[in-house]
Amino acid sequence: QPWRSPGESQALFALPAPRWPVECEVIQETIEHIEWVPPEPEPFCPPMGSEQAPDTLGEEQGTIVYHSSPELQGSCFTRARIGGALGPLSSPAAPLEGPQDTTLLFESRFESGNLQKAIKVGPYEYVLTLRPDLYTAKHTQWFYFRVQNTRREPLYRFTIANMAKPKSLYGKGLQPLLYSQQDARRHGIGWRRVGTDIRYYCGSEGEPPVFRLSWTVSFPHDSDTCFFSACYPYTYSDLQRYLRTLAADPVRSRYCTVQALCRSLAGNIVYLLTITGPDGTAGKRVVVASARVHPGESGGSWAMRGFLNFLLSTHADARLLRHLFVFKVVPMLNPDGVVVGNSRCSLAGRDPNRAYGMVLPGSFPGVWHLRAMVQRVLAEREVVLYCDFHGHSRKNNVFMYGCDASGDSVGTRLRQRVFPLMLSKNAPDKFSFASCKFQVQKSKERTGRVSMWHLGVSHSYTLEVAFSGSTLGGRSSHFSVEDLESLGRLLCDTLLDFCDPAPAKLQRCLAEADTLLRQQVGHKLGSGGSWSHVSPSEFESSTSGSDSSLSDG
């Protein structure tokens, strides 16, 4: 049942605690971070190239100082409970030998944490192993862990020894994120980019090969509690706190109902928000948006939060959007993966963004129920747009993937490009139209974008937000939380432009898209500029796929 207004019992807003697989140990501490925007954009770190970092001792020479690996009952998920494993917690961190012991104390048995092992190979040097996605042996990209017992003077080196992807933005200036509890408490400073001598390189030539991410860092304080992360964390509990605040707001809750779309494999609620004006839904078209089908792409959640904040604001454009449309929003499609700290998979051990259209509601409930909901909506009214929020680890900036079928008319193929082109004009310092791709590859047939397009959503997109930042508009800097949230507002602005009843903006963008395609085809194929007979696969390079191109699906 929907939770409608703050006038109802507060019991309705007592959102349940996350449910974990029973194999997972979970510490009792509540992990929360303050929000902070750096006063100046954080520039990219000068890349060090692909040469290997200094030699480090192997596991056999080092000392294991942290080891936490769930003892999985068989090869698949069986059951879950609030708080995870029963019984007293183990002690995965090696105890300190006294006050002079400078060994770091590691921990990641909290929401979205995924450190499996830490080996001390020098006085201030550690080799780390990430836990693969649960019930798989791969998909190591996201990381999030805590360290304590820091010293301010030394230069530490951390090396993550089992990154999965052969290419990464860490080789192009991306820095890890650091959060200091002392800085947060004393100075109001939150997550910030850190790290020098950052290298990303092949660590072994086995099958499959593994890659290493290495960086050096100095901690800001002695005896501090710090966190490292690949991107700004946004947990399932963060979403629940946001929804609780929303439900308690007497203004915003008038425009928004919150319901359970379904429950995940672990029993966590997959939330569905319906947003529209108080004038009802009659005659309104629908916009569908979703995020976090891939749990390690947390930037998508921050962009989604900006989207929701703007839609529920008192801004005149937000009121107009609520008057024109009904918004169906699923802000976290894969809550189980987010809870346990997976990079890509759900507890089914598979990528749920390769499961749309499969008759497996019990294995992939989030995507199955989202697709079924869109089918029901399409039977009654037009869905003008679907947008699935993602993150990208190999390309800078923000861009989109759309759906261009070479058999469609020229007008239809051009119109596919209009929304991303308009967004590039509204966000010239963040969004790259040149990076957008529209080819529908066979391997992507069961993604959200392509599945919704096949259902009849003519404008269906994946929004890709770089883990790093922007190289556009004179920038060469990381995205802040403020940057990510602004994307949601800019998406709303673009929706109004796209649906403007006055045709001038649309006609200009159609003409510009046609010119760009003529230039692209003439340059690549030498066909004199005619492109109507050219399929997207002919003028989009084979390496231009989404960040999931390297996934086995």
Q: Which residues are designated catalytic? A: 464
**What span, in angstroms and rounded, lies between the C-alpha atoms of 275 and 256?**
5
**What span, in angstroms and rounded, lies between the C-alpha atoms of 293 and 148?**
32
DSSP letter for each residue of 381-436: S-EEEEEEEEEESSS-SEEEE----TTS-HHHHHHHTHHHHHHHHH-TTTB-GGG-
Do 105 and 219 contact (CB within 8 A), yes or no? no
**What span, in angstroms and rounded, lies between the C-alpha atoms of 501 and 499?**
6
> What values do phi and psi take at 286, rounded to 5?
-120, 145
Q: Find how far residue 389's CA is from the centre of its chain.
A: 7
**What span, in angstroms and rounded, lies between the C-alpha atoms of 491 and 426?**
9
DSSP annotation of 17: P
- Side chain identity at 526, as an amino acid letter? G
Question: Count of residues for the chain?
Answer: 553
Tell me whether strands 225-229 and 144-148 are parallel, antiparallel or unpaired: antiparallel
> Other CB atoms closer than 10 Å to residue 275's CB: what's the count?
23
Decide: residue 192, CB within 10 A, 0-12 exposed, 13-18 middle, 19+ buried: middle
Tell the residue number behind the tokens 């993966």, with chain if given: 337
DSSP letter for each residue of 458-472: SSEEEEEEESSEE-S
Tell me whether strands 192-193 and 19-21 are parallel, antiparallel or unpaired: unpaired
Tell the residue number behind the tokens 């194929």, with chain if given: 525
Tokens of 178: 């650091």
> Other CB atoms closer than 10 Å to residue 242's CB: what's the count?
18
Tell the residue number behind the tokens 């967004």, with chain if given: 423
